[in-house]
Amino acid sequence: MQDALFPLPNERGLDDWLSQALSEALQTVSMGSAMPDSDPDSWRPALARQDFETPTEPTRAMQWVIDTLTTGLVQPTHPGYLGLFNPAPTYAAECADRIAAAFNPQICVYSHAPAAVDIEQHVIRQMALRIGLPEGSSGHFTSGGSEANLTSVLCALASANPGFRQLGARAYDAQPTLYVSRESHLAWLKIAQSVGIGRQAVRLVDTDGAGRMDMQALAKTIDTDRQSGCMPVMVAATAGTTNAGMIDPLHECRELASHEALWLHVDAAWGGALAASPTLRSALDGIELADSVTIDAHKWFATTMGAGMFLTRNPTLLGQIFDVATDYMPAGDSPDDLYINSMQWSRRFIGIRLYLTLTIAGWQGIAQHVEHSVDLCRQLSDQLIANGWAQMNDSPMAVACLQPPGGGERVTDIVNAVQQDGRFWCSETRYERTPVLRACITNGRTDAQHINALVDLLRTLV
Ligand SMILES: *Cc1c(COP(=O)(O)O)cnc(C)c1O
């Protein structure tokens, strides 16, 4: 059994087997349904029987998992998946994941994995420069946007009151408050709860009728909170709302945050990829003025899941927030010792996926991917508008919130019918309180033919 678990380096025949099996499975997926087309009853009995008492031959074990996933998922690698940014991953990222797994470096401490940490930190610094943060800005990879956003709240709380580190929320004699638009990503509620300031710390500021933070409403909410004894600590602007790709007024947010002495975070979880494109990046103007920024690699940059980034112009603050000394860890006081500069301790080599994606494609490769997405999204909405639909959002990004000719009430039926058909996955959401069909074309495998086929399908449904 030891041989199956820990084969010698020259006895890794399963690598080739696995490559072949994956290639076949992904081909099956791409020609099949974007929706799960088997139901849980087809795998649950086998799982229930699996008591791990009898070892299974490795290729049989893996083939079962691959077959089960081939029919048992909404398929992000399917070209008709017009979903929630879960990307068809770049092949480079997929290979990178395999390389990271094979070496399995522990990158929480620089001295344990100097090469891996340097590769990651290089990507982080390049990304910070790409969005215009000043020289000396830094940060780290995270599990995703939520961890990065959580880190921004810790920064805001520690920078507004250095006692926060020891005393937590009790360092404040008032309720700390933070400001996001009501179109923001609502992980903010869980984040506020987990950092100990409670969900009521989150102010969901009204939008301007076009999905962006209403600046007057923001100023007024801050005023009202101060008068009632709260302690505002941060504004988190969204650069690319999850729903509709709308970008809050970043310059105005900066001005107000500076005037009120608040931390300014910009959540560009999916929108950050616009920075790759010379023609589209101006939509992010003002992001360079943020104190900190979230960008997910696993959304529009199309790496495999579990890859976000936290970037900040003030990285020394991270060392103050996350600093700990233990006897069993190699002594560290360097910004490259990630366990004392970030939330995670044991750490996977996350950044290799974006490193290899960017190295192989270049910024221009990502720019093409992003621009292609935006083009396809425009093709979809133009064709639907010609068929009596209305596009409700006006985003520079690749997401369209569309209302069918009959009005919002028909959206649920139409989206259900699309999902039933199986060739496409899109979703229903609300934009400025109106139900819409949401199509997000960030999938690198989608092309114009798929868009035409979706339009044809929608024509038969309305
Ligand atoms: C997806 C998203 C998040 C959350 O990121 P995860 O990677 O899912 O944790 C936060 N903000 C925005 C704007 C997002 O689109």
Angle at 308 between CA 305 and CA 314, to 5 degrees: 170
Q: Whose CA is nearest to atom 5 of ligand 1?
A: 145
Q: How close is the Cα of 2 to the center of ligand 1, in Å?
A: 41
HSE-CB of 360 using CA atoms within 13 angstroms: 15
Angstrom distance (rounded) from CA 146 to CA 131: 20
Q: What is the pLDDT of residue 327?
A: 72
Please answer whether residues 342 and 318 qualify as being in contact, where contact means their C-beta atoms are separated by less than 8 angstroms: yes
| CA nearest neighbour of 268 among 256, 255, 280 | 280
Q: What is the pLDDT of residue 1?
A: 67
Q: How close is the Cα of 324 to the center of ligand 1, in Å?
A: 28
Please answer whether residues 278 and 421 qualify as being in contact, where contact means their C-beta atoms are separated by less than 8 angstroms: no
Ligand 1 atom with the shortest distance to the CA of 240: 13
Strand spans (E) along 243-288:
263-267
Q: How close is the Cα of 84 to the center of ligand 1, in Å?
A: 10
Q: Whose CA is nearest to atom 15 of ligand 1?
A: 242
| CA nearest neighbour of 244 among 376, 372, 399 | 399
Ligand 1 atom with the shortest distance to the CA of 268: 13
Three-state DSSP state, 365: helix
Q: What is the pLDDT of residue 84?
A: 86
Angstrom distance (rounded) from CA 177 to CA 174: 9
CA 323 to mean position of chain CA atoms: 26
Please answer whether residues 461 and 402 qualify as being in contact, where contact means their C-beta atoms are separated by less than 8 angstroms: no
Angstrom distance (rounded) from CA 274 to CA 298: 14
Please answer whether residues 85 and 300 qualify as being in contact, where contact means their C-beta atoms are separated by less than 8 angstroms: yes
Q: How close is the Cα of 220 to the center of ligand 1, in Å?
A: 27
Q: What is the pLDDT of residue 332?
A: 61
Angstrom distance (rounded) from CA 234 to CA 263: 4
pLDDT tens by residue, 40-95: 999 999 999 999 999 999 999 999 999 999 999 999 999 999 988 899 999 999 99
Pocket test for ligand 1, best of 183, 185, 284, 343 (most atoms within 8 A of CB): 185
Q: What is the pLDDT of residue 414?
A: 96
- Cβ < 6 A, ligand 1 pocket: 144-146, 149, 185, 187, 238, 240, 242, 267, 269-270, 296, 308
Sequential pLDDT tens for the chain (462 residues): 678 899 999 999 999 999 999 999 999 999 999 999 999 999 999 999 999 999 999 999 999 999 999 999 999 999 999 988 899 999 999 999 999 999 999 999 999 999 999 999 999 999 999 999 999 999 999 999 999 999 999 999 999 999 999 999 999 999 999 999 999 999 999 999 999 999 999 999 999 999 999 999 999 999 999 999 999 999 999 999 999 999 999 999 999 999 999 999 999 999 999 999 999 999 999 999 999 999 999 999 999 999 999 999 999 999 999 998 777 766 666 889 999 999 999 999 999 999 999 999 999 999 999 999 999 999 999 999 999 999 999 999 999 999 999 888 999 999 999 999 999 999 999 998 899 999 999 999 999 999 999 999 999 998
Strand spans (E) along 129-171:
138-142
Q: How close is the Cα of 300 to the center of ligand 1, in Å?
A: 11
Q: What is the pLDDT of residue 4?
A: 85
Residue 311 CB neighbour total at 10 angstroms = 29
| CA nearest neighbour of 232 among 289, 174, 307 | 174
Tokens 């396809």 correspond to what residue? Answer: 376
Please answer whether residues 299 and 241 qualify as being in contact, where contact means their C-beta atoms are separated by less than 8 angstroms: no
- Backbone φ/ψ region at 85: left (φ over 0), alpha (ψ -120 to 50), beta: left
Please answer whether residues 55 and 7 qualify as being in contact, where contact means their C-beta atoms are separated by less than 8 angstroms: no
Q: Would you say the pTM of this structure is higher than 0.95?
A: yes
Angstrom distance (rounded) from CA 260 to CA 252: 12
Q: What is the pLDDT of residue 444?
A: 96
Q: What are phi and psi of 389, to 5 degrees?
A: -80, 165
Q: What is the pLDDT of residue 155?
A: 98
pLDDT tens by residue, 162-176: 999 999 999 999 999
